[in-house]
With several copies, the nearest count.
Chain A
Amino acid sequence: MNLMEYQGKELFKRAGIPVPRSGHAVDAHQVADYIEKTVGEWVVKAQVLMGGRGKAGKIKFANTADEGRSVATDILATPMPPNRQNPKGEPINSLLVEEKLPIAKEAYCAITIDRTAKKPVIMVSRFGGMDIEEVAEKHPDSIAKFYVDTAIGYSPFIGRELAFESELDAGYRKQLPSIVGALYDLFFRYGAKLVEINPLVLTTDGKVYASDAKVELDDDALFRNPEFAEWQKHLPLDEDEQLASKAGLGIRNFRRFDGNVGTMANGAGLAMATMDAVTNAGGKIANFLDVGGGANAERVRNCYELVVNNTGAKAFFINIFGGITRGDEVAKGIVQAMEETSSRKIPLVIRLTGTNEEEGRRILAKAGMTPVETMDEGAKRAVELAK
Chain B
Amino acid sequence: MSIFLDKNSKVIVQGITGAEGSYHTDRMVKYGTHVVGGVTPGKGGQKTPQGLPVFDTVKDAVEATGATHTCIFVPPPFAADALYEAYEAGITFAVCITEGVPVHDMLKVVGTTPGMRIIGPNCPGLVSPGKASIGIMPGHVFTPGKVGLISRSGTLTYEVVDLLTRAGIGQSTCIGIGGDPIIGTTFVDCLREFKNDPETTAVVVCGEIGGSDEEDAAAFISRHMPETPIVGFIGGRNAPPGKSLGHAGAIISGNFGTPQSKIAAFKAAGVPVADRPSDIPRLLAERLAVTV
Contact = CB atoms under 8 A, between A and B. Distances in A.
A342 interface: no
A311 B154 CA distance: 27
B102 A268 contact: no
Nearest to B56: A164
B158 A276 contact: no
A85 B254 CA distance: 12
Interface string A253-277: 1010100000001111111110111
Contact of A151 (B111, B138, B159): B111
A155 B243 contact: no
B136 A272 contact: no
Contacts of B278: 374-376
A152 B154 contact: no
A354 B77 contact: no
Contacts of A150: 107-108, 111-112
Chain B interface size, under 10 / 10 to 19 / 20 to 34 / 35 or more = 35 or more
A286 to B, nearest CB: 12
Interface stretch (A199-207, A229-237, A320-328): A320-328
A115 B179 CA distance: 11
A151 to B, nearest CB: 5
B276 A272 contact: no
Interface stretch (A61-69, A217-225, A299-307): A217-225
Instruction: Select the residue from B104, B155, B157, B208 with max chain A CB neighbours within 10 A.
Output: B155
A115 B212 contact: yes
Contacts of B236: 269, 272-273, 275-276
Interface in B36-60: 41-42, 44, 56-60
Interface string B103-120: 111011011110000000
- Classify the secondary structure of A's interface with B: mixed
Interface stretch (B82-90, B260-268, B284-292): B82-90
Interface stretch (B2-10, B196-204, B221-229, B244-252): B244-252
A290 interface: yes
B57 A191 contact: no
A152 B114 CA distance: 11
A383 to B, nearest CB: 13
A353 interface: yes
Given A116-B212, A157-B81, A220 B76 contact: yes
Chain A interface size, under 10 / 10 to 19 / 20 to 34 / 35 or more = 35 or more
Given A113-B182, A118-B110, A152-B112, A321 B82 contact: no
A294 interface: yes
A173 to B, nearest CB: 7
B124 A118 contact: no
Contacts of B82: 157
Given A193-B103, A218-B103, A294-B20, A115 B211 contact: yes
A78 interface: no
B202 to A, nearest CB: 21
A193 B244 CA distance: 15
Contact of B162 (A115, A255, A321): A321
Contacts of B81: 155-157
Given A119-B107, A155-B85, A323-B137, A276 B102 contact: no
A290 to B, nearest CB: 4
Given A118-B182, A161-B59, A376-B278, A220 B250 contact: no
B231 interface: no
A156 B154 CA distance: 30
A169 interface: no
A157 B20 contact: no
A288 interface: yes
Contact of A164 (B60, B101, B108): B60
A44 B45 CA distance: 44
Contacts of B20: 294, 324
Interface in A165-197: 170, 173, 188, 191, 193
B41 to A, nearest CB: 5
Contacts of A276: 235-238, 276
A134 interface: no
Interface string B7-28: 0000000000000100010000
Contacts of B112: 149-152
A151 B113 CA distance: 9
A252 interface: yes
9 contacts: A113-B103, A157-B57, A250-B246, A252-B246, A269-B155, A275-B236, A321-B138, A353-B162, A376-B276
Given A272-B236, A280-B275, 6 more contacts: A156-B78, A164-B57, A220-B103, A250-B246, A253-B246, A272-B153
- Top 6 closest A-B pairs, CB basis? A269-B153, A268-B246, A267-B155, A272-B236, A157-B85, A150-B111
Interface of A: 84-85, 113, 115-116, 118-120, 133, 149-152, 155-157, 160-161, 164, 170, 173, 188, 191, 193, 218, 220-221, 223-224, 250, 252-253, 255, 257, 265-273, 275-277, 279-280, 285, 288, 290, 293-294, 320-325, 353-355, 357, 374-376
